[in-house]
Amino acid sequence: MGMFLVVLADDAFIFLTAWEIMAASSYFLVMYEDEQAENRKAAFLYLVVAHIGAIAILLSFGLMAGLSTGFEGFNGYTFDAMRQAKFPAEWASVAFLLAFFGFGAKAGIIPLHVWLPEAHPVAPSNVSAL
């Protein structure tokens, strides 16, 4: 459900709520066989990295929303308002790097892949595919 909501989200709040549902679901799926310490460790590491990434995405969205409305009101949190805003190059770079770090942590790109070798071997194979 979280994966569908991420794709359907029209604003940053719904997106991040769906993102957290997706991360929490993945945590419980990685920890499927929780009687093994290795599984609990891998699931916890995944959860920490996923939440650090989510904070970076939140900061990126907050920066873009604030710049689109002048940091007054919450109208800038829709993706349409973010797309229409004109950002100064340096702030656009900061927002991009925050988003790249956040999404990269979830995707497991190098060097943000520390959770990947731990989580995939202990998760059931159909969960690793997701």
Number of domains present in the structure of the chain: 1
Q: How many helices (H) and strands (E) does the chain have?
A: 7, 0
Query: What domain range includes position 10?
Result: 2-129
Residue type, 28: F
- HSE-CB at 80 with a 13 A cutoff on CA atoms is 2
DSSP state of 54: H
Query: What average pLDDT does this structure show over 86-99?
Result: 93
**What percent of the chain is predicted at pLDDT more than 70?**
95
Cis before residue 111, ω within 30 degrees of 0?
yes
pLDDT of residue 54: 94
The pLDDT of residue 130 is 63
pTM of the model: 0.85
For the segment 32-80, what is each residue's pLDDT rounded down to a tens digit?
777 778 888 888 998 999 999 999 999 999 999 888 877 676 777 888 8
